[in-house]
Structure 1
Amino acid sequence: MNTFGPPKLVLERGDGARVWDADGNEYLDLLGGIAVNVLGHNHPALVTAIADQATKLVHVSNFFTTPSQVELAERLLGLVGAEGQVFFTNSGTEANEAAFKLTRRTGRTKIVAARDGFHGRSMGALALTWKPAYREPFEPLPGDVEFVPYGDLDALAAAVDDETAAVVLESMQGEAGAIVPPDGYLATARSLTTEHGALLWLDEVQTGVGRTGDWFGYQASGITPDVITVAKGLGGGVPIGACIGVGAAGSLLQPGNHGTTFGGNPLATAAALAVLDTIEKDALLDHAATLGRRLRDAVSGLPHVRDVSGRGLLIGIGLDTEIAAAVHDRSLAAGLILNACGPARLRLAPPFVLTEEQADRAVAILAAVLKETPL
């Protein structure tokens, strides 16, 4: 079905931060499958984990559990640093669907979400997603969702009340182009939801699993949310997501309330464990933070660049005119994969294994493209 438009390339193989198309052309990948391939392509630890698990079990159904499923749930809760329970899914959208249903178990229905936020394309997740072009063709959507400007403390305080089931926010807006909230924003959201007996739900689908230089983007704020949704980088390319319920929120969904056929299957959970192990063993959190600063500093002085945002290896580049699509196409022709996430905004979400030399080469390609792209 023509849901994505014509594909730009037919990609055939990859290695680290590089990919090759079916014609043998090489590209430097600074998008990483949209923040998914945190270990790059063809990482030996991930390949080995998948191959080893495939010789044991691939699927067992949700009537049973497996050692890797239990271990991964424990690891995720350990990274959060709190007691709770985990529901495994196959994607970020599914993780957000589980979280949406979880909020209904509070006995309330009102959700406060952010303008320019993105939470997925299914009917429930879409109800929480701001972009009218995504929403309007499928309305009516599940209701009782109020949108407020992201980062506006007064608007958030005015919207959250004793009827609110949950506030759902990204710790940094990814689809909008790596938009970082002001200092204290997430802490205020935590205070407001606590005051009104609502859940604080943080969507870490793009920002989680080390993308920002912390395991989760919210951790720099020093808070603990009630619900955390993760996916994308968790499996390093193998489909997996998780809805993490912290404390009492982990018990809101009971038998019969929700389900999945493939979620938390042994192949995906083994892959996720390999990703977490490798990030820890190779100190990739520090690398993501350090290399992200290097990239942001390097692109900030390039032609047509108005602003640079982000943390770690999720970076937004604001342009001074609406040339993002042209910059994307010309960069691709020059061997660089990035993302035009708006008419005047680019997004970078490279693998954590990107080297300094590769980062510098990517900046050089982008600089040449921007210099040659007319206003």
Structure 2
Amino acid sequence: MRRGSGKVMVNEAQNANAAAVQAVQEVRPAEGSSLFPTYARYPIALVKGEGSWLWDDQGKKYLDFMCGLAVTNLGHAPKSVKAKLQEQLDQLWHVSNLFHIPNQEKLAGLLTSNSCADAVFLCNSGAEANEAAIKLARRYNSKVLCNVKYEVITFERSFHGRTLATLTATGQEKVKEGFHPLPQGFVSVPLGDLDALKDAITEHTGAIMLELIQAEGGVYPVDVEFVKAVRELCDERGILLIFDEIQTGMGRTGKLFAYEHYGVEPDIFTLAKGLGSGFPIGAMLAKAKLREAFSAGSHGSTFGGGPLATAAAIATVETMLEEHVAEQAAATGAYMIERLRTELAGNSFVIEVRGQGMIIAIECAEPVAKLVEEGQRQGLLFVTAGPNVIRLLPNLLLTREEADQGITILSSILTSTNAAAAVQP
């Protein structure tokens, strides 16, 4: 390296960060906003990310235990994905799905060769992937089996998306408010209640849709025996089994796909969030027997599986496989759960620490919204999973040093909260 080149690189990085800060400040409105107020936003504008870290437009640095809600599984701006995207940017950005797209075939091959699936439909988001799963289940029953099995059974506390069909499938009433009348053909039962599930099955039941960890609903891992019983029930009654792996897929639980923990294979499963390292992409995967149900013209997406999105996803999957990322997530996640349990033992404000891999919950005795804000003040970003649950979603390549930093901040916040609660009259 020539003398002075390091200084030049530092100056370039500083200039780039300053430009990003200025760009955000220029578009931030002085009064009001032109956006619909669909998000209760924190008063932070993030402008730069690298690995496990984010910076806001004031230059403050944060340790990220949110990952854009389980999206940046390889950390922010992973080099392998960035290189693949830059290469694709120089070649082709978009082409209609009326033509063959080589990246689609490569990505589909990577996904099917590393899963129980045989066919893939590519889309743009988790809601779209779940919508495709519901449509495939209905069309398979209608067009291939020639029956009237259109109902989908889901579970209370589940979350499957924001489209009309997927919010109806969601087992939480709060997401349905104001959107009635809702589509017919969806029933929710308590998670883990096999008798209630059996009672809900009718001659019209075509599929059962299940999250293996109810992430948005409080980070509740589903019991292994219950999942096996559901699989057996589906086989007995001729019902399709759908696993929603939007948040649990792509290494998050310590396996590439969460169903691998259960010794059970679904007929259909869905992916999104971590699939593209932040580039929007979703996927619906299914067994070979369902392929003919999605014949030409039966379903589609203008942007689904485009060259840029699939380039990002290919690089993400290849990196996960080559660097054994899921295995790292399993080890780091186990370390974090054990250390959190040790650090918080005896804290009366903390009810339970639970999770699997790098999806971890700290259930508390009271609402935790103020604790999220305190974490932000102390430079740690995390999110909730219901009023009383802290949800931790670090990237899967988080170092032990970074894990310790985050746990130290969390322990301090929760210890202070416990002490404050103890002196309240």
Give TM-score, length-normalised by structure 2.
Answer: 0.86
The aligned counterpart of 2:352 is 307
Q: Based on CA coordinates, which of the two structures has the bigger radius of gyration?
A: 2
| Higher relative contact order, chain-length normalized (CA < 8 Å, sep 6+) | 1
* Deviation of the 1:316 alpha carbon: 1.3
Query: Is structure 2 residue 330 aligned with structure 1 residue 289?
Result: yes
1:74 pairs, out of 102, 109, 122, with 109
In 2: Cα distance, 1:178 partner to 1:244 partner:
24
Q: Is the 8 A contact 1:160 1:193 kept in 2?
A: no
Which of 381, 397, 421 is the equivalent residue of 1:337? 381
Deviations along 1:133-163, whole A, 9 cap, x unmatched? 1112101111121111112222223323442
Q: How many residues matched? A: 373
The DSSP-based 3-state class of the residue aligned with 1:202 is strand
**Per-residue Cα deviation, 1:217-243 (whole angstroms, up to 9, x for no partner):** 111111111111100000010000001
**Runs of 5+ consecutive residues of structure 1 not aligned to the other structure:** none
**Which residue is equivalent to 2:97?**
62
Which consecutive unaligned segments of at least 5 residues does structure 2 have?
A: 1-35, 143-148
Higher share in helix: 2
How far does residue 101 in structure 1 lie from its aligned partner after superposition? Answer: 1.1
Match of 1:133, SS state, is helix
- The match for 1:92 is 126
Which of 233, 240, 247 is residue 192 of structure 1 equivalent to? Answer: 233
2:409 and 2:42 map into 1 onto residues whose CA distance is: 22
**Structural mapping, 1:205-224, within 5 Å:** 205-224=246-265
Kindly state the Cα deviation for residue 6 of structure 1 after the two structures are TM-superposed: 3.3
What amino acid maps onto 1:365 in structure 2?
I
Contact in 2 for aligned 1:31/1:348 (Cα 8 Å): yes
d(CA) in 2 for partners of 1:140, 1:162: 24
CA distance in structure 2 between the partners assigned to 1:158 and 1:308 by the alignment: 33
SS of the residue 1:270 aligns to: helix
Q: Deviations over 1:246-296 (max 9, x none)?
A: 121232122221110000001111111111111122221111001101111
The yes-or-no answer on 1:50 pairing with 2:85 is: yes
In terms of mean alpha carbon deviation, does 112-121 or 254-263 score higher? 254-263
- From the superposition, tell whether residues 214 and 6 of structure 1 become closer, same or farther in structure 2 (CA, over 3 Å): closer
Superposed displacement of residue 177, structure 1: 2.3
Distance in 1 of aligned mates of 2:381 and 2:216: 16
Moved over 3 A (4+): none
1:317 and 2:362 are equivalent in the alignment: yes
CA contact (8 A) 2:116 2:287 kept: no
Contact 1:279 1:285 in 2 (8 A): yes
Match of 2:5 in 1: none
Residue of 159, 168, 181 corresponding to 1:140: 181
Partner of 1:121: 162
Percent identical: 39
Identify the range of structure 1 (149-158 vs 22-31) with the bigger mean alpha-carbon deviation.
Answer: 149-158
In the alignment, the residues of structure 2 paired with residue 6 and residue 35 of structure 1 have an alpha-carbon distance, to the nearest angstrom, of 18
Equivalent position of 2:17 in the other structure: none
What does the per-residue CA deviation read over 1:180-230, in whole Å, with 9 as the maximum and x for residues that have no partner? 111212111111111111110000000001111111111111111111110
- Aligned residue for 1:352? 396
User: What SS does the corresponding residue of 1:184 show, helix, strand or coil?
Assistant: helix
Q: Distance in 1 between matches of 2:113 and 2:292?
A: 18
Distance 2:218 2:393 in 1: 10
Partner deviation per Cα, 1:317-375 (whole Å, 9 max, x = no partner): 111222x1011110111000000222210111111121110001100000111122233
